Amino acid sequence: MPGVGLLGLLAFLVIFILTNVIKILKEYEKGVIFTLGRVGRKASGPGLIILIPGIQVMRKVDMRTLVHDVPTQDVISQDNVSVKVNAVIYYRVVDAVRAIVQVENFMAATSQLAQTTLRSVLGKHDLDEMLQERDKLNKDIQEILDHQTEAWGIKVSNVEIKHVDVDPSMIRAIAKQAEAERERRSKVILAEGEFQAAAKLAEAANVLATQAGSMELRYLNALQEIAGDRTNTIVFPFSMKEVAKTVREGGF
């Protein structure tokens, strides 16, 4: 029996050493070691780590890029349109010590910060900007998150807005607004065309009024066009005084 007890004690010591003294960290992991409650300046690992039982405690940190889905958020746009928006963020820990010491749970903290930042940034833009300028909005959100998480030793590398869902009742209103906007633009284009045409006519009238002989040339062009048509009657746009003068001068 004493031999069995000794074997059991040895087995317990081996298990204790393997679970509390010897730690093996993978290539993508870092270990933050606390010695009597104090942490070193740098994280340890990867590889074999030996701890002093009862004196040292280690927290493992995954240093790979992490992907997190931001839950759907209710956002009121600047033009008072209610939309539901969700996104995905890509981030990684660049300083394991700060990620453990500066914040209680860096994953939960980053998630909550992403949600509030998403609502704050998108709420400053119109619906059209949300739909058409996603790249700019993604960059704005990423820069804000990266700046605020820097103190936690976290680098936010990318943010992508996945869906912008509009309430069905708002879709009909937006369609009417778009139709009215298209009609307004068509009227503006038509008015601009008429204005330009009127300006050109006024310019042509000024030229005809100031340039000697220009009116006669215009008459001749008109007569040439009329002569080309199939008609038996041609009306000359000349006054009788001008016709008599032309006859005297041998014009006909």
Does any domain span residue 181?
no
Q: Are 154 and 230 members of one domain?
A: no
Q: Are 81 and 166 members of one domain?
A: yes
Q: Are 151 and 220 members of one domain?
A: no
Q: Are 87 and 166 members of one domain?
A: yes
Q: Are 83 and 160 members of one domain?
A: yes
Looking at residue 106, its pLDDT comes to: 94
State the DSSP string of the chain. -HHHHHHHHHHHHHHHHHHHTEEEE-TTEEEEEEETTEE-SS-B-SEEEE--TTTEEEEEEE-S-EEEEEEEEEEE-TTS-EEEEEEEEEEEES-HHHHHHS-S-HHHHHHHHHHHHHHHHHTTS-HHHHHH-HHHHHHHHHHHHHHHHGGGTEEEEEEEEEEEEEPHHHHHHHHHHHHHHHHHHHHHHHHHHHHHHHHHHHHHHHHHHHSTTHHHHHHHHHHHHHHHSS-S-------HHHHHHHHHTT--
Instruction: Supply φ then ψ for residue 70, to 5 degrees.
Output: -80, 125
Looking at residue 188, its pLDDT comes to: 86
The total of structural domains in the chain comes to 3
Q: Are 104 and 125 members of one domain?
A: yes
Query: What domain range includes position 30?
Result: 11-61
Q: Are 70 and 55 members of one domain?
A: no
pTM of the model: 0.64
Q: Quote the percentage of the chain above a pLDDT of 70.
A: 75
> Above 90 in pLDDT, residue 114?
yes
Q: Are 108 and 164 members of one domain?
A: yes
* 56-98 residue pLDDT tens: 899 999 999 999 999 999 988 888 888 899 999 999 999 999 9
Find which of 37-51, 135-149, 155-169 is predicted with most confidence, using mean pLDDT: 135-149
* 203-214 residue pLDDT tens: 776 766 676 566
Provide the CATH number for the domain around residue 149: 3.30.479.30
Does any domain span residue 2?
no
